[in-house]
Amino acid sequence: MKLTSLIMAVCAAGALSGNALAQAPIVIKFSHVVTSDTPKGKAAERFKELAEKATHGRVKVEVYANSTLYKDKEELEALQLGAVQMLAPSLAKFGPLGVKEFEVFDLPYIFPTKEVLYRVTEGPIGKNLFAKLESKNIIGLAYWDNGFKVMSANKPLHAVADFKGLKMRIQSSKVLDAQMRALGANPQVLAFSDVYQALQTGVVDGTENPPSNLYTQRMNEVQKYLTVSNHGYLGYAVIVNKKFWTGLPADIRTQLEGAMKESTRYANAIAQQENDAALEKVKATGKTTVYVLNDKEKAEWRKTLLPVQKAMEGRIGKDVIDAINKESAALGNK
């Protein structure tokens, strides 16, 4: 090959590789701890689809479901270090980060309806809570819903006395610790990925979940009794590494914000139906007896658990609890 042709070939190769480098996609690693067949799992996949489409492939989203990349405890550390770019942890898991106010979402009966919840997550209260993450190198992008929790164990849980002495798995939240102690149970924090085995081996006797989490982790196979109590709420904050997010080209960030908005709408639209369907599937397996509290039992649980709100004022802040209860009253709730 003549020298001129060789030089041209090398330049062309260089240009190509230059173009190839210029086209290398921005990778968002999105780690979470539930299966893909849950409201959060489906919303994460929807975000991937919308984000890659909106950025015309300039962004690639790698979703790592079911604790395949990081478990509960490690994932927040990984985000702060930039080892992953996006998470959607339960709102019950921000205490260890030092943002205790998020545990307001764990307070028993704090949300009488989803309407109250959305007034909080889509309004100033939710925005103010996200602002507390920024000093931790984290930006909150959205709140995703997963609904109200049921209790499960290998004995019927009807009256409060039924909880006495039970080892109950909880997320890492001091409010949930106080909740279980108020019921007379012994709370134990375990990573979500460890719950099935802990129930199977008797490390813990029972736990609480939205039905979609209980069913997709097959907990119904090792829990003989489920009580539809709706005593508390479980939702998520979709968060990103602040340095990564602010370092994105402005047009890409705008496109991703649009994808997040649409996947949030989707997440919140499917949460209730996914949990209703999961509960029906638990019933259909016949392995778990599903019990719905009667009014007398509901009243006893409320009487036992409502004082947790007052007890947690010092940790969460009376102002944020009062603000949510004010929103609730404004919507006509007692």
Which residues here bind ligand LMR, judged by CB under 6 A?
33-34, 90, 146, 171, 192, 209, 213
Least distance between ligand LMR and beta carbon 111 (Å) = 16
Task: Using the minimum distance from each CB to ligand LMR, give the nearer residue, 44 or 183.
Answer: 44
Task: Using the minimum distance from each CB to ligand LMR, give the nearer residue, 44 or 320.
Answer: 44
Q: Which residue has the tokens 């999961």?
A: 278
User: With contact defined as beta carbons under 8 Å apart, do 105 and 233 qualify?
Assistant: yes
Least distance between ligand LMR and beta carbon 84 (Å) = 15
Query: Given the DSSP bridges, would you call strands 138-148 and 233-241 parallel, antiparallel or unpaired?
Result: antiparallel
Least distance between ligand LMR and beta carbon 31 (Å) = 11
Least distance between ligand LMR and beta carbon 165 (Å) = 22
Task: Using the minimum distance from each CB to ligand LMR, give the nearer residue, 255 or 264.
Answer: 264
Amino acid present at 304: T
Name 292's Cβ contacts closer than 8 Å, sequence gap at least 6: 227, 228
- The CA distances from residue 94 to 166, 230, 263, in Å, are 25, 22, 22
- The CA distances from residue 52 to 25, 65, 75, 187, in Å, are 10, 18, 23, 42
Residue 10 backbone phi and psi in degrees, to 5: -65, -45
Task: Using the minimum distance from each CB to ligand LMR, give the nearer residue, 33 or 168.
Answer: 33
Q: Which two tokens stand for residue 45?
A: 């996949």
Q: Which two tokens stand for residue 162?
A: 């039924």
Name 257's Cβ contacts closer than 8 Å, sequence gap at least 6: 141
User: With contact defined as beta carbons under 8 Å apart, do 275 and 212 qualify?
Assistant: yes
Least distance between ligand LMR and beta carbon 60 (Å) = 23
- The CA distances from residue 173 to 28, 169, 170, 178, in Å, are 28, 11, 8, 9
Task: Using the minimum distance from each CB to ligand LMR, give the nearer residue, 75 or 162.
Answer: 75
Least distance between ligand LMR and beta carbon 273 (Å) = 17
Task: Using the minimum distance from each CB to ligand LMR, give the nearer residue, 148 or 297.
Answer: 148
Amino acid present at 128: N
Least distance between ligand LMR and beta carbon 144 (Å) = 10
Task: Using the minimum distance from each CB to ligand LMR, give the nearer residue, 72 or 162.
Answer: 72
Least distance between ligand LMR and beta carbon 334 (Å) = 29
Q: Which residue has the tokens 């690693």?
A: 29
Which residue has the CB atom at the shortest distance from ligand LMR?
A: 90
Task: Using the minimum distance from each CB to ligand LMR, give the nearer residue, 209 or 227.
Answer: 209
Three-state SS at 213: helix
